[in-house]
Structure 1
Amino acid sequence: MSQNAKEYVASLIDRARKAQAIADKFTQEKVDELCTAIAWNIVKPETAEKIATMAVKESTLGNYDGKYAKLMTKIRGGLRDMKGQKSVGVIERDDEKKIMKVAKPVGVVAALVPCTNPEATPVLKSMFAIKGRNAIVIAPHPRTKNTNTYIVNIVRETLKKYGAPEDLVIAVDPEHVSMDVSGELMAQADLVLATGGGGMVKAAYSSGTPAYGVGQGNAVTVVDETVDLKEVANKIMRSKTFDFATSCSTENSCVVQVGIYEKFVKAMEAEGGYLVTGDEKEKLQNAMWHDGHLSRAIVAQAPETIAKEAGIELPEGKTFFMVEETGIGADYPFSGEKLSVVTTLFKYGQFQEAIDKVNAITAYHGSGHSCGIHTNDEERILALALNTKTSRLMVRQPQCLANSGAWTNGMPMTLTLGCGTWGGNIASENVSWKHLINVTWVSSPIESTQPTDEELFGHIMLD
């Protein structure tokens, strides 16, 4: 790390610590007022429109409608999840065990923000931090540094208006955005909240600072014969095309029961899917991967752009691609994460084969992230949940619209999805403000609860 990076980050951390010392004395009411005000000043239509426009223009990823929708849904949803939740002082009492839990701030949070979700991620992370009376320093991806500055300035103005230190939320200045600065920030902060690619998350866990990171996505959804295929195809289409698939939660693969496979393909075609045939598959593969890496020219781009790159003539009205595949792993790149409006189709016979395929696909890319299922068979839902190494299982839902929380499910709203130890993460939950507090357990004496050996060991003592 350069000396300049160390000194620059040290100055940011110093400002943040001074602000956090003031926030440490905030009441629950003050914290909740600030979070509400931040959310409101971002979701005002004219502000959200400006942010969504700027994010698309600067990143050249995704589309306006998707980014605007994320702002309007995720920010509101994050606030909804916070409403009435205690994060200051005594947050829980257990009278039976005489345990009292007291919330404390973690201090200064280092937040890393990806270029795929530069619009809502810094806002949510700021709200999460302030809910716990923390300060936060946000390091954006170089491709979206100006969008980040614009958002953070709105948040800072809001804090000032409501009598809180502006330095509770600090952005790395655009001219200082670099890997060196991000690395120093992670090393000097009290906690790292990293959302982004595998390299970023690995760096977060190697920083020497406690960290919440997220694993690689490669969501797989299973479709069986018990569901309405028209309805399923519409859900997959909405998820697959949302923000041109910037989300790692979008259906990268569909594992479909062989008896309904042809009907499923027709239903998907009716929803705008284009089935790649003949030499088009090789053309698409060559356009999407260069030397084993996804090409920036196709990531989160319009289907017309991808078709042009691949030399494929895309019929009018087609909004996403379907590619048939049988193999899984490095020799079959379509089985991996694509971050594009392309979904891979697999067939299965018996349901165990579907489970095996989900495990094989996520083991290649996306360990611990998520899977989905479209079925009305409760036993199959449970079997998939019990036998896959995934942190989320969405039932009869559009995957990317559901994983990170939706108005129509009970998942916590966030854009930071833990993947458990399978994905190299410490959390397998949707990471939220609850992960940004320390808790002091206060224990008072109770009557002895020591059991007898007979109660503890039962028949084992007699064997």
Structure 2
Amino acid sequence: MIVNNLESLKELIEKVKASQEKYATFSQEQVDKVFKKASIAANSARIQLAKMVVKETGMGIVEDKVIKNHFASEIVYNKYRDSKSCGVIELDESYGFQKIAEPLGIIAGIVPTTNPTSTAIFKALLSLKTRNAIIFSPHPRAKKSTIEAAKIILEAAIKAGCPEHIIGWIDEPTIELSQALMQHPDIKLILATGGPGMVKAAYSSGHPSLGVGSGDTPAVIDKTADIKTAVSSIILSKTFDNGMICASEQAVIVEDKIYESVRGEFQERGAYFVTAEEREKLGKTIIINGKLNVAIVGQPVSKIAEIAGIKIPEGTKVLIGEIEKVGYEEPFSYEKLSPILGMYRGNNFEEAVERRNGTSFRRYRHKV
């Protein structure tokens, strides 16, 4: 069936609910078999899914998306394969209590365009491990990739004995359908990964929700740091999948005593510090009408520089803007989801930490 309107969504939820009620009766042995087969199928498809994502969205790096898909499938499986998730999972006869695991029912999975397959994979696998069903609402720009990942896991789960509709999805996602899914009375939990607006909508749905919005992760480098390791780690983080991981650093605050040393190390490792004029042009490219410019998300620095109308040295890995302000008027203090970094100076460690706390100036985000 094709889910593209409220009526077809209602029909899907009914089918998924019936499948979940059957799956809730499965034993631990049956569940673990499903979990294993689904994980293997997802991991086997990690390369084709990575290629599909980059082709569909035009964002990120294939090789890095392969790693994310691998982590979401095999690493997640290895983490939870021996965990009990059915019936009595803990018994303490001394204190006379038991812990009993029961499924919730149907989970709504909101999936972002930045990680459309890896997010779908781990949410589907965790749902299967806990005898829950899940219905995905993909991002419109990445719907084919998300749906393909869901199909691969569903087919493997069915072959392992799972009911037919244990995983579902919206084929033509819209804001209306996403909200209808999240607000439906048969939805027992929402796993929302996306922008602040989507996370806020999940928390406002009336159902229990686990939301992951913007990251805006700041990092402090003080005089006790191993400068080479710190700078290398930040560059690796900012260049992985072209900076689309929401946990990657968005700003770095450097203690004054080592500022020039850190700056030099960044340059040595391929970072380019934009001039004041270039920073102005790049800032107008990062934020347009108060929102992140989607044209730069997950793009290489060469393309971002071209969009901004600035020239950068060949081989540049990261663009860095040296800034002082934090807030809506400073584009470099936003989450940028690209290989762009804001760099601040702190007179001492205490000031650097205070500045670090101020970089997360918007709501509905998480810190690492």
User: What's the TM-score bracket when you normalise by the shorter of the two chains?
Assistant: over 0.9
1:17-57 deviation digits (Å, cap 9, x = unpaired): 1111111111112212211211111212xx21110011011
* Matched residue SS, 1:213: strand
Q: Which amino acid aligns with 1:148?
A: T
Partner residue, 2:81: 83
Q: Does 1:171 align with 2:173?
A: no
Q: Which segments of 5 or more consecutive residues in structure 2 lack a partner in the other structure?
A: none
Q: Does the aligned pair in 1 maintain the 2:19–2:166 contact within 8 Å? A: yes
**What is the CA-CA distance between 1:201 and the residue it aligns to?**
1.0
1:316-344 deviation digits (Å, cap 9, x = unpaired): 11111111011111222211211111111
**What is the CA-CA distance between 1:366 and the residue it aligns to?**
6.2
Query: Which one of the candidate residues 41, 47, 50 is aligned to 2:48?
Result: 50
Q: Highest CA radius of gyration, 1 or 2?
A: 1
* Matched residue SS, 2:110: strand
Cα distance in 2 between the residues matched to 1:81 and 1:57: 31
Partner residue, 1:369: 366
Q: Does the aligned pair in 1 maintain the 2:216–2:365 contact within 8 Å? A: no
Q: Does the aligned pair in 1 maintain the 2:284–2:331 contact within 8 Å? A: no
Cα distance in 1 between the residues matched to 2:324 and 2:173: 43
Q: Which segments of 5 or more consecutive residues in structure 1 lack a partner in the other structure?
A: 371-391, 393-463
Q: Does 1:41 align with 2:41?
A: yes
Q: Does the aligned pair in 2 maintain the 1:219–1:366 contact within 8 Å? A: no
Q: TM-score, normalised by structure 2?
A: 0.95
Q: Does the aligned pair in 1 maintain the 2:124–2:167 contact within 8 Å? A: yes
Q: Does the aligned pair in 1 maintain the 2:285–2:293 contact within 8 Å? A: yes
Q: Which amino acid aligns with 2:215?
A: G
Cα distance in 2 between the residues matched to 1:5 and 1:207: 19
Q: Does the aligned pair in 1 maintain the 2:108–2:190 contact within 8 Å? A: yes
Q: Does the aligned pair in 1 maintain the 2:34–2:161 contact within 8 Å? A: no
1:342-400 deviation digits (Å, cap 9, x = unpaired): 111111122211221111111x1366622xxxxxxxxxxxxxxxxxxxxx4xxxxxxxx
Cα distance in 1 between the residues matched to 2:284 and 2:334: 15
Partner residue, 1:235: 233
Partner residue, 1:157: 155
- Count of equivalent residues: 363
Q: Does the aligned pair in 2 maintain the 1:217–1:366 contact within 8 Å? A: no
1:137-184 deviation digits (Å, cap 9, x = unpaired): 1110011111122112211210121121131111222xx321111111
Q: Which amino acid aligns with 1:184?
A: A
Partner residue, 1:185: 181
Q: TM-score, normalised by structure 1?
A: 0.76
Cα distance in 1 between the residues matched to 2:65 and 2:164: 26
Q: Which amino acid aligns with 2:366?
A: H
Cα distance in 2 between the residues matched to 1:163 and 1:294: 44
* Matched residue SS, 1:76: helix
Query: Which one of the candidate residues 208, 211, 220 is aligned to 2:209?
Result: 211
Cα distance in 1 between the residues matched to 2:213 and 2:137: 19
**What is the CA-CA distance between 1:71 and the residue it aligns to?**
0.8
* Matched residue SS, 2:297: coil
Q: Does 1:145 align with 2:124?
A: no
Q: Does the aligned pair in 1 maintain the 2:189–2:207 contact within 8 Å? A: yes
**What is the CA-CA distance between 1:6 and the residue it aligns to?**
3.0
After superposition, the CA RMSD in angstroms is: 1.5
**What is the CA-CA distance between 1:185 and the residue it aligns to?**
1.0
Distance 1:233 1:366, change over 3 A: farther
Partner residue, 1:457: none
Cα distance in 1 between the residues matched to 2:133 and 2:169: 11
Matches within 5 A, 1:414-453: none
Cα distance in 1 between the residues matched to 2:98 and 2:352: 46
Q: Does the aligned pair in 2 maintain the 1:273–1:320 contact within 8 Å? A: yes
Partner residue, 1:30: 30
